[in-house]
Amino acid sequence: MDTGSLIEALVFFIRTAVTLVLLFFGITFLMALLLEYISPATIRRILMKGPRGRGNIVGALFGSLTPLCACGSIPVFVGLLNAGVPFGITISFLLASPLINPVIVGLMAALFGWQIAAIYAAICFVLAVLVGAAWEKLGFAQHVKNVMVVGGEEVVNKDLSFRIRIGHALRQSWSQLCRLWPHLLGGVAIASLVRGFMPADWIAGVAGGQNPFAIPVAAVIGGPLYIRGVKAIPILSSLLEKGMGLGAAMALLVGASGTSIPSISIMSGIFKPRLLAIFVVTILLIAIVAGYIFWIYTLAYSL
């Protein structure tokens, strides 16, 4: 076993584990504290106001403006469920949040051009809206485990002091972390080993060129790599220089952002197996659809 790769994997595990535990606890705490001041009824009213389907657009928009990775989006997703927000709207948020945000789109525009960034954002946004609406209609909410935090009263008690509210939020966020930390750390451990022993040259070789069959391969490879949005764009730029096609690169980005092993591991504590499998397949399909659209775009642009 390569000592250098093992050290790299260990360093990645420690850094990522600490980051994700703090991120998960911090975001869960902020969501719990928000529910101490804003009633679930108010949140539902904001997200559900207007014609049918508008909530999914609002949910996807909220996700696209939230600069969180998939792991950071999950506690917000749970908080929205706890507030009684319809399942489909929360799914639109959960899909859009790691795939689109101002940082990813801005970096993509700087490195690849605004046309590519705009097409990428539009594809992911529209699919997040449609999938959220479809899952709601199909009744997939029944496959969510009962892991929502305790609290979130319909009427906010305005007489509580800030100190008491902080205590409530801390207890709720700690409870969530205690339930899900084995899933989180287990996923990080697997991702660390994959990242340490899967070279970029090999990835470019397997999913390189304009071969259309490279796109589904890149989508599947993306998940184990665990390259978050901000780091993913420079890595993709390097892979493109090594010969990877644009379609495969975009499929890799979506797959890596939406199906990272740590995030899927955490979701296994929230989704029942059937819904977890559907979620993974959905992200891969989004990645493949996006990849082929960019593959066609590249062919048309080269003519």
pLDDT band at 18 (very low <50, low <70, confident <90, very high): confident
pLDDT band at 2 (very low <50, low <70, confident <90, very high): low
Q: What is the pLDDT of residue 135?
A: 93
More confident residue, 286 or 160: 286
Q: What is the pLDDT of residue 152?
A: 44
Distance CA 254, CA 99 (A): 6
What is the residue extent of each domain of the chain? 3-302
Mean pLDDT of the chain: 77
Place of tokens 């750390």: 185
Residues 6+ apart with CB under 8 A from 300: none
Q: What is the pLDDT of residue 133?
A: 93
Distance CA 18, CA 243 (A): 34
pLDDT band at 232 (very low <50, low <70, confident <90, very high): low
Q: What is the pLDDT of residue 125?
A: 94
pLDDT band at 209 (very low <50, low <70, confident <90, very high): low
Q: Does the global pTM surpass 0.85?
A: no
Q: What is the pLDDT of residue 154?
A: 46
Q: What is the pLDDT of residue 25?
A: 81
Nearest by Cα to 220 from 183, 261, 181? 261
The average pLDDT across 279-284 equals 91
pLDDT digits (tens, 9 = 90+) for 126-174: 999 999 999 999 989 888 886 554 444 444 556 677 888 888 888 877 8
Lowest pLDDT segment from 7-21, 208-222, 225-239? 225-239
Contacts of the segment 178-183: beta carbons below 8 A, 24+ positions apart: 179/147, 179/269, 180/24, 180/147, 180/266, 180/269, 180/270, 181/21, 183/265, 183/266, 183/267, 183/268, 183/269
- HSE value, Cβ hemisphere, 13 Å, CA-based, for 83: 28
pLDDT digits (tens, 9 = 90+) for 55-113: 899 889 888 877 666 777 788 888 888 777 889 999 998 899 888 877 677 767 777 78
pLDDT band at 276 (very low <50, low <70, confident <90, very high): very high
More confident residue, 182 or 228: 182
